[in-house]
Amino acid sequence: MHIGFYAPLKPPDHPTPSGDRRVALLLIAALERAGHRVSLVSRFRSFNAKGDSGLQRRLETGALAEAALIRPAIEADRPDVWLTYHCYYKAPDLIGPLLCDACAIPYVIHEPSHAPKRAEGPWRAGHRASEAAIGRADLLLCPTRLDLACVGRIAAAERLRYMPPFLDTAPFSAMDRNEARHAVAARLGLPERPWLLAVGMMREGDKLESYRRLGSALTLVLDRDWSLIVAGDGEARPAVEAALSPLGDRLAYAGALAPEDLARHYAAADLLVWPAAGEAYGMAFLEAAAAGLPAVAGDVRGVPEVVMENRTGLLVTEDDAPAFAYAVRRLLDDPALRRRLGAGARAFAAGERGLEHAAGFLDREFRALLR
């Protein structure tokens, strides 16, 4: 089967790493694992960060030109299915519905998002466009139950499927903990004690807020022995450093890590800690799980889809620093519980959230759609 792939927010070969790019690449990998041919139909970005009405008009004009430009190639090598990844009010799919109508191609969206509160205001044009794309879709794959409920307000149930987040566990599960711990200790100069790990880009908004919440919570656990490894970098690094400065010499900044190095840090750590402010679900939680690393996480939006309470980690009420601190202290004080949750996390990621499982799901759904 030939799958035409499009990501209006950021193409999968974009040079800047992000969670969106990672999920797009995972979708392509799952489809290829199932034996399908995937082609990137367009790199056109419809991202409108601030709801600029002038930019939105230019994006709509640009999308029409892009659709006309790529239509001959689409007609020459017609996909059996068009798959758009992540369509929402800031980055609606302005191309897929046009070409799928023109070329009679079944249209699928993975991670559709419907936000009624954006129906008025600066993003209203993007909201309408994403709503129109969702209305046109033949199949909607929702990674969280929250998305499923929201999209279900405007889409018929027979077009909706719950497809939880997944990943390729191999790079994470293959790491040897002792070797990883030795390498990370040597690089960062860490003492032999429990290591907490935070993974997140350093940018304004929800990521910075997560770092701020983390700093507030961990100041309440200074009576225990631990170090915090911070994996990530970005333009907000000075603000992140200020937020975490009360932790003093317990901090070790690892910087932005290549995938193999990040997997090594998951394997070396004892506990992933992330408040997850505004997080859609958080791929870092699944990556940690694949490495057998339990998590303490904010019980936010789709995070419960990737952190299973008392199975792969502990969930904490959003923005509750004392509760977050209590969960961290509990796991620091109970190595047996950490080991149990780590084993549960590894099994969860390898089974229900592995690449093979996702490949089989997509294959079944796409073949059923074509029938």
For residue 103, give its domain range. 2-166+354-370
Do 156 and 25 share a structural domain? yes
pLDDT < 70 stretches in the chain? none
Category of 109 on φ-ψ map: left (φ > 0), alpha (ψ -120 to 50) or beta? beta
Do 330 and 227 share a structural domain? yes
pLDDT of residue 278: 87
pLDDT of residue 31: 98
Do 175 and 148 share a structural domain? no
pLDDT of residue 242: 97
* Each residue's pLDDT tens digit, 118-145: 989 999 999 999 999 999 999 999 998 9
Total length of the chain: 371
Tokens representing 147 are: 């998305």
Rounded to the nearest 5°, which phi and psi values hold at 171? -65, -25
Do 95 and 43 share a structural domain? yes
Do 6 and 130 share a structural domain? yes
> For residue 363, which amino acid is it?
D
pTM of the model: 0.86
Question: What is the number of domains present in the chain?
Answer: 2
pLDDT of residue 18: 78
Do 196 and 111 share a structural domain? no
Do 110 and 189 share a structural domain? no
Do 146 and 180 share a structural domain? no
Do 181 and 79 share a structural domain? no
Do 62 and 16 share a structural domain? yes
CATH number at residue 149: 3.40.50.2000
- What is the DSSP secondary-structure string of 58-108? HHHHHHHHHHHHHHHHHHHT--SEEEEEEEBTTB--SSHHHHHHHHT--EE
pLDDT of residue 16: 82
Do 358 and 347 share a structural domain? no
Inter-residue contact 161 to 139 (CB < 8 Å): yes
Query: Helices 206-218 and 237-244 sit at what angle, rounded to 10 degrees?
Result: 20
Q: What is the largest CA-CA distance in the chain?
A: 66
Do 251 and 188 share a structural domain? yes
